[in-house]
Amino acid sequence: MVAGFSRLIMEFPAGIEMAGYVFRQDPSLGTHDPLEAFCVYLSDGSSEVAILVYDLLGIPEKFPQSLNGVPLIPVATHTHSGPKPSMVFEKIVEYSRELVKRAKKKSKNLEKMVIRGTMVDGICDYRDRAESTKLPVVLMEFKTTDESFFLLIFRCHPTVLGPENLLYSSDLAGGIRRKFEEKMGGSVVYLNSCCGNISTNRTRTERSFREVERLSEIFVEKLDWKREKEMEPTTMKFREFELKLPIVVKKRVILENDERLKPAVELLKTKRDHEKFERARVSIL
C-alpha cells in the first residue's frame, strides 16, 4: 500500500463575499493568515482515493467526485473567515487537481500507521450542557519510506472569529495545525468530525486572532496520548453513499427566544420558502 501527501496555500483576492455569517455585510479586505488545502493520497494497487481538506466553510454542491480518475473525499475545516465557496469554485477545482497530482506523484510505500487517542477539555464544548465535557482527539500518523504526516481528528465547530472579521483566516483549525506542527514536526491535516452542537461559544473569552492562538496553545498543551496502536495496512476499502435528508425548520417564535439564533431568524425572514430536502455525500474509507 502507498501513501502520499501534498499541501498548498490557496490565494484569493480581497473584495470577495465571505461565508459563514448572515450579519456580515462587507466583503473581504485581505488575508490575516493563509488558507491552506491538503491532500492525502492512498492506494493499495487495486483501488485509490484522495482525501482533500480545505480551509473553507464547506464544499460546493457540484464539486467533482473524482479528478484524473482518482475518487475524492472532499472535506472543509468550516472556517467562517474564508470566501464563499461557490464564488471561487473553479479556483478550488484547479487547486484540487494540483494537490492530487502532487500527492500521487510523491506516494511511497506506507511502512506503518500509528493511531493515538486522548481526551481534552477547555477548547470547545456542547452548547446545551452546564458542565465541562472532555472531547476525544484521534491522531493518525502515516509513515512512508520518505516522510511522515498526520491526520488530527477533533470534533469542534472551530470558529473563534466573528462577523466583524473581514480578513481571510483558517481560524482555530489553522491555529491548532500551527501549534501542533511546532511541537511534533511534520505536516498535520485537521479534520473536525461531527460537531454541529460543539463549539467555542462557552470557552472563548473574545473573538480575536489572539484568542485563536490562546485556545490553540491550550489544545496542544493538553495532548497526552492515553492510547496507541500501530498497524501495517496492506489493503483498503472505499464506499460512497448519497443521502437525501429532510430539512427541519423550527418555528420562528422558538428561534426568536434564543439570542444566539437571531441571525438565523433574520435569514428566515428573507425567505418565503425553503428547501424541503438536502443531499449529502457520505464517504467511508
Residues 194-224: tens digit of each pLDDT: 777 899 999 999 999 999 999 999 999 999 9
Cell numbers placing 89: 469554485
**Distance (Å, whole) CA 197 – CA 129:** 10
* pLDDT at residue number 26: 96
Per-residue pLDDT of 223-232, as tens digits, reads 999 899 999 9
* pLDDT at residue number 246: 86
| pLDDT > 70? residue 45 | yes
**Residue in 157, 169, 210 with CA at minimum distance from that of residue 28:** 169
Mean pLDDT of 128-136: 85
122 touches 102 (CB < 8 A): no
The Cβ of residue 151 has, within 10 Å, a number of other Cβ atoms equal to 20
| pLDDT > 60? residue 126 | yes
Per-residue pLDDT of 138-180, as tens digits, reads 999 999 999 999 999 999 999 999 999 999 999 999 999 999 9
Q: Give the global pTM.
A: 0.90
* pLDDT at residue number 266: 66
Beta strand spans in the chain (E): 2-10, 30-31, 35-43, 48-54, 66-67, 70-76, 108-120, 125-126, 135-144, 148-154, 167-168, 187-191, 198-199, 227-231, 239-246, 277-284
